[in-house]
Amino acid sequence: MTFAANVVNVLIASPSDTAAERDAVEAAIHRWNADRAQGAHTVLLPLRWEVNAVPVIADSPQAAINRQLLERADIVIGVFYARLGQPTERYPSGTVEEILEAHDAGKPVHVYFSTAPLRPDIELDQLARLRSVKADLGQRSLYGQFASADELQAQVRSAIEHDLGELGLSAPTVAAPPVERARLRASYVQATKSGRIVVTNDGRALARDVRMALEPLGRGSLPYLDDEDSSTPRDIAPNGGTTSYVAFGGMGTASQLKVTLTWLEESGEEQAFSHTLSLT
């Protein structure tokens, strides 16, 4: 079943050695959606640089990620294992740039460091740089630590619940669908011995109890219509449905008429439309 929802973009910011951790964060996001999205009228959309960033030549890789993902993000989750990542023009790494730029923009940011055993293939210089940034971050903010994917998912879930409470999102309003209405117009079709006034419904709703009234414009009289036939209300189907009236004219018949069509919409509302009809 469809439902109206706010969409909250969650950027997962992390270096290249945290693919499994990014998967864990995304899994926590999807689990939250399965449990809470419909009731909270909110859908979380995970953003990952290796999935959602589009390669462009005009920017540096980090500038492209910032413009395509960081600017869209409503919440940022930063995750580190043993690498800090490559430096950018202004920051120790791209992940650090995403975290600090998001913080400066006033967005909720949560940073988590792994305490799992280190693999033997780690780069010691990267680990040293990471520990330096971790120490600096600890001087000015709180960060989380995790030893397993389950721990990380639980902490991310708590952070998301906190952020959504702070954001105070209300259920989005859904615009009412446009009211379907009938739209009538008359035309004249000449035949050998008589003509027909054809009324067409180009609207998308049934026109009920359609009546037609004629007035001559200028000199001349009205064409002859079968009184019983023309006075009986008719229904005209939508999307090109038609009805017609036999019209007999003569030498004194007016060449132009004012046609007034009245009908009831499906809601019971009465409508009327007038226009000029040429018999020539």
> What domains can be seen in the chain, in order of their start residue?
6-167 (3.40.50.10140), 184-278 (2.60.40.1230)
Backbone φ and ψ of 221, nearest 5°: -110, 175
CA distance 74 to 102: 9
* Residue 63 in tokens: 């500038």
- Pairing relationship of beta strands 144-146 and 184-190 according to DSSP bridges: unpaired
Write the pLDDT tens digit of every residue in 7-58. 999 999 999 999 999 999 999 999 999 999 999 999 999 999 888 877 777 6
Residue 270 and residue 258 in contact, taking contact as beta carbons nearer than 8 Å: no
Instruction: Look at residue 11 and give its three-state secondary structure.
Output: strand
* DSSP assigned state of 240: T
Average pLDDT of the chain is 91
State phi, psi for 123 to the nearest 5 degrees.
-95, 120
Q: Alpha helix locations (H) across 14-123?
A: 19-40, 49-52, 61-65, 94-104
What is the pLDDT, as a whole number, of residue 118? 93
Q: pLDDT tens, 59-112? A: 788 888 888 889 999 999 999 999 999 999 899 999 999 999 999 999 999 999
Task: pLDDT band for 228, please (50, 70, 90 cuts).
Answer: low
Q: What is the pTM of this model?
A: 0.64
Measured between alpha carbons, how far is residue 247 from residues 69, 80, 199, 236 in Å? 68, 85, 13, 19
State percent of the chain over pLDDT 90. Answer: 68
| Under 8 Å between Cβ of 80 and 134 | yes
* Per-residue CA distances from 71 to 75, 103, 239, 278 (Å): 10, 12, 45, 61
Angle formed at CA 76 by CA 70 and CA 79, multiple of 5 degrees: 115
* More confident site: 253 or 29: 29
Q: How far is CA 228 from CA 79, 184, 224, 245, 277, in A?
A: 82, 21, 12, 11, 22
Which 8-state DSSP code applies to residue 252?
T
